[in-house]
Structure 1
Amino acid sequence: MRQLVLYVICYFLTPLFVKSQTVVSINIDAVINPATAEYIHRGIEKAKKEKATCLIIHLNTPGGLLKSTRIIVGDIMESTVPVIVYVSPAGAQAGSAGVFITLAAHIAVMAPGTNIGAAHPVDMQGNKDSIMAEKLTNDAAAFIRTIAEKRKRNTEWAELAVRKSVSITSTEALDKKVIDLVAKNDHELLQRIDGRKVEVNEGSVILQTKTARVQTYDMNFAEKILSIIGDPNVAYILLILGFYGLLFELYNPGAILPGIIGVISLILAFYALHTLPLNYAGLALIAFAIILFLLEIKIVSHGLLAISGVISMLLGSLMLIREDTGEVGKISLSVILTMVSASALFFLFVIGLGLKAQRAKPVTGVEALIGETGSSLEMLDPVGTVFVHGEIWKAESTAGIINKGEKVRVIKRQNFKLFVEVVQKDT
C-alpha cells in the first residue's frame, strides 16, 4: 500500500520538477535578403542558447536573393537544433528562394491554402535564352537537387521547380513528398511532430513539442530597417534622393537640410546596394546625370544638358543591378520610369523658368531704364534734364525740341546720359 501511495505521489509531482521544453518561433514575411538571412541566423543561435527542442520558421515569401538564400540554407544544414519551416498562414507562398529554404528544413510543413514553387532564376532583362540565364539555371538546379537529396525529398520535382517554374499546392506537395506535413495551425503542428526523430548536424534528436512553450523571437529594429531598404526599389529611390539632396546643397550652400537628407539617403542606399550585384557603370551613369543636371542650372544650354542627363539616368538605372540575380532582386521598370520622368519634369520646369527670366524685362542695371517713362524738367533743345525712375538725369532728345513738363520715354542710355523721345498722347 505504501508503495502504491509513493507511486501516485511521484506520478503527479514529477512533471513539476521536469523543465518544460521550449520552441523558438520566428516569422519571415518579406523578400529574402541579407537582413532576413541575419534574422534566421540569430533565430538558430537563440534556439541553441535556449536549448530549444526546435526552431519554427513561419515563412511567406515571393523569393529573393540567391546569395542570401545560400547563407540561410547553409545555416539550416549546419544547425544542431532541428529547424521546421512552416509555410503559413493560408494564402502564403514559398516562392523562388522560399522553395530552397523549405526543402532545406529538417521538417517541412505547409498550411492548407498555401503554395510552393516557381524557383526559376530570371535575369534582369528576362532573357531566358541567354548564356547567363542558362548558367544561373544550371547552378540553381544543382543546388536545389543537392538540398532535396540531403533531406530525402522529391529531387525530380525540385529540379522542375527551377527549370520549369512549376508550382503546387500544399496537398500536392504532401502527395509528391516535397514536404512532410500539412498542419492547420501551430498547435496542430506541435502535436503532430511530437516524438519525431530528426537527424541534425551532430546526431539525432527526438522532438518533445506536445507541451512545449513557444517563444516568439522578433526582428530587431536594425533588421527591420535593413529588410526594408534591402528591397532594390527602395535602395534605388534612396540613391536618387541622396544625389538630389547633395545637388540642392551644392546649388544653395548653407541650406543644410537637403545635404543632411542626401548624405543619410546615400549611406543607406550604398549599404543596400552593397548586398546586391551592383553594376558600377550604371552607378557612374547616374552620378554623371546628376552632374549634368547641376550644370544645366549653372550654364545656359537650352535644355541640352538636361536631356543628356535624363538619358544618362535612364541608362544607368537600367544597368544598376547586374543580371546575376533573381526576379525579386531587380528594380521595377515602373519605379525607374517614375524617377526618371520626375527628374525630366523638374528640369523642364527649371529650364522654363530660365527662359522666362531671359525674356523678362530687366529690372536692374543699365537695361532696366530702357522703355521707362518720365517727364522733362526743362525744355530739351536738344539737351536738358528729365525725371525718370525717381531720379534726375541729363537727357538728350532724339526727335526735336521737347517742352518742359512733357512726358518722355527712355530709348537709350549712354553712361550717365539718357536719350529720350516724346510719348505721343492718345488721339
Structure 2
Amino acid sequence: MKNWRMLLYSILLTAGVLLLIFPVSSAQEQGSGETVYFVPVEETVERGLQAFMKRAVESAEEQGVDHIVFELNTPGGRVDAAGEIARTIRETEIPTTAFVVREAMSAGAYISLNADEIVMQPGTEMGSAQVIDGTGSAADDKAQSAWLANMRSAAELNDRDPVYALAMADPSIEIEELNLGEGELLTLTASEAESVGYAEAVVNDREALLEYLNMENAQVEEFELSAAEQIARIVTHPIVIPILLSVGSLGLILELYSPGFGIPGIMGASALFLFFFGHTVAGFAGWEAMILFIVGAGLLALEVFSPSFGIFGILGLGAILTSLILSSFSTFYIIVSFVIAIIVTIAGMLVLMKYIDRAGPMKRVVLQDATTTELGYISNETRNELEGQTGTALTVLRPSGSAMIGEERLDVVSEGGYIEQGRKIKVIAVSGSRVVVRDISGSETD
C-alpha cells in the first residue's frame, strides 16, 4: 500500500512540474478552423521575455496557427533581448501583427516594427527608442550607430518611411509635420502612427482587430506565461542577478559559522537555486552548469575544513565562475555581477564579525555562554589554602619534586634553587596546580 501511495505522489508531482513549465493554452472561441494566437509582450523587455517569445512562436508553428498577434504594453528594455525577439518574429512564416494596447516604447517600438502589421488602440503610443547605457545616459556613438541601423532596417522591412523610426532613436532629427524639434525623440500617438503609415489601423478592442484581419470567426487562443517563466523573467533581470549572487554567497558563508543548517543556509541555497532555475527555464543554463557550481562550492568547503594552501579555493572559485558564465547570456555582465557579489559578501562578513555578537536577532547564532568559575566550571583547582604552610621535601627538588605538606603528598617546585631531600620547606605561592616552595631549614632556631 505504501509503494502505491509513493507512486501516486510521484505521478502527481511530475504532472505538477510539467504543468508549471508547460501550461496549456486556453481556447476562448470556437471558430471555422482558423486559429489566432494572442501572445502578451508586457513589462520590461529582457532575456526571460525573449525565451517566452521563442517558445510561443515555436508552439504556434507546431500547431499550425494561422496568425499571431503580439499584444504590446512595454516601456522597453534590453537591446540585445529585443534584437533576438525581433529575429524570432521575422523568421516565422506565420503572419504576425503587433497590437499596441497601451504603449510600445523603446525596445517595444523596435519589436513592433518587425511584425508584418502594426495595429494600435486609441490613446496608445509608440516610439522614444534611444539607446541608453547602465547609468541612464545616451550610449556611445558605436552602439547608437548600430541601433539606428537596426531601426532603419525594421522600418524598411515593411516599406515604412525610415525617417520616423530614426527620429524615435536620434534626437537630432527634426520633423516639421509632427512639430518635432531638435533635441526631442519622436513618440507617435495612434492617430499619428496611422497618418504616417506606421500603423495599418486603429481599433478599439480584440473583436475589432479580428474583424480588421478578416478572422472574426477564428478560434482565439491565449498563450500565457507559465509560472516557471514568470520566475525566470524576474531572476534573469540584470538588477536581480547580482542581488541573488550576493545573497547566495553571503548566506552560505555565514552558514559555515553557525551550527547545523539554518536560515542563512536556506536563504543562500534558495537564492542560488532561483538563479540557476530561472536561467535554465530561459534557455541559458543546462544541468552541467549547476553540477559545476556544486563541485566548486564543495571545493571551497574543502578548503575551509582542510586547508590546501589555496589550491582547493582557487579551483572552487574557478569552477563557480565558469558555471555562472555558462549560465549567463552575457559573459561581461556575469563577471561584473560576480565581482559585486564578492564585494558585498566580504563587506557583509566584516560587518557581521564586528556587530553580530552585540545586539539584534543575529546575536542568536553566536554562542554567548562561557565556562566561567562563577558558573561552577573549573579547569584547574587552585590550592590557595596551602600558601604559608610548611612541610618536608620528600625528594630532591631541582627545582621540581615531591614534598609532604601537612599530611598531603604534593608535587612542588622550588623558587629556583636546589633543595636537598629532607629539608624543611614553606609554601610561598600557589598558581593553579603549581605550588612554589622555599627552603627554610637554615632559618630555624632551637
Task: Report the TM-score range of the alignment, normalised by the length of the smaller protein.
Answer: 0.5 to 0.7
**Residue number among 177, 181, 200 corresponding to 1:180 in the alignment:** 200
Q: Per-residue deviation at 1:189? A: 0.7
- Residue by residue over 1:113-162, the C-alpha shift from the partner in whole angstroms, topping out at 9 and shown as x without a partner, is 1111111111112343xxx6211111110011001111111310101111
d(CA) in 2 for partners of 1:102, 1:111 = 14
CA contact (8 A) 1:29 1:61 kept: yes
Opposite residue 262 of structure 1, the aligned amino acid is: G
User: Given the superposition, is the C-alpha separation of residues 295 and 218 from structure 1 closer, same or farther in structure 2, using an over 3 Å criterion?
Assistant: closer
Q: Per-residue deviation at 1:213? A: 1.5
**Residue number among 239, 247, 256 corresponding to 1:250 in the alignment:** 256
Q: Please report the RMSD computed on the Cα atoms of aligned residues, expressed in angstroms.
A: 3.6
**Residue number among 139, 154, 159 corresponding to 2:161 in the alignment:** 154
**Residue number among 58, 71, 93 corresponding to 1:45 in the alignment:** 58
The answer on 1:105 being equivalent to 2:125 is no
> What SS does structure 2 have at the residue aligned with 1:100?
helix
CA contact (8 A) 1:246 1:262 kept: yes
d(CA) in 2 for partners of 1:210, 1:416 = 106
The answer on 1:282 being equivalent to 2:336 is yes
* TM-score for both structures, normalised by structure 2: 0.57
**Residue number among 129, 143, 146 corresponding to 1:119 in the alignment:** 129
Q: Per-residue deviation at 1:237? A: 2.7
CA contact (8 A) 1:115 1:167 kept: yes
- Residue by residue over 1:146-203, the C-alpha shift from the partner in whole angstroms, topping out at 9 and shown as x without a partner, is 0111111131010111122321211111112112111100000111122xxxxxxxxx
**Unaligned residue ranges in structure 1 (runs of 5+):** 1-17, 195-208, 300-346, 357-361, 370-377, 383-411, 418-427
**Residue number among 74, 79, 83 corresponding to 1:61 in the alignment:** 74
Q: Per-residue deviation at 1:60? A: 0.6
d(CA) in 1 for partners of 2:193, 2:357 = 58
d(CA) in 1 for partners of 2:32, 2:434 = 101
CA contact (8 A) 2:245 2:338 kept: no
**Residue number among 15, 18, 29 corresponding to 2:42 in the alignment:** 29
**Residue number among 228, 231, 241 corresponding to 1:235 in the alignment:** 241
Aligned to 2:99: 86
Aligned to 2:350: 296
Opposite residue 343 of structure 2, the aligned amino acid is: A
> What SS does structure 2 have at the residue aligned with 1:144?
helix
CA contact (8 A) 1:109 1:180 kept: yes
Moved over 4 A (4+): 270-273, 347-353, 362-369, 412-417
Opposite residue 164 of structure 2, the aligned amino acid is: W
**Unaligned residue ranges in structure 2 (runs of 5+):** 1-30, 172-184, 280-327, 364-368, 377-384, 390-430, 437-446
Aligned to 2:213: 193
d(CA) in 2 for partners of 1:280, 1:234 = 12
Opposite residue 171 of structure 1, the aligned amino acid is: S
User: Given the superposition, is the C-alpha separation of residues 30 and 231 from structure 1 closer, same or farther in structure 2, using an over 3 Å criterion?
Assistant: same
User: Given the superposition, is the C-alpha separation of residues 292 and 37 from structure 1 closer, same or farther in structure 2, using an over 3 Å criterion?
Assistant: closer
- Residue by residue over 1:375-418, the C-alpha shift from the partner in whole angstroms, topping out at 9 and shown as x without a partner, is xxx9x999xxxxxxxxxxxxxxxxxxxxxxxxxxxxx999799x
Could you tell me the percent identity over the aligned residues? 27
- Residue by residue over 1:240-292, the C-alpha shift from the partner in whole angstroms, topping out at 9 and shown as x without a partner, is 22122112211214224432431231243367682356445534543443553
> What SS does structure 1 have at the residue aligned with 2:74?
coil
d(CA) in 2 for partners of 1:219, 1:245 = 31
Work out the number of aligned pairs and report it: 291
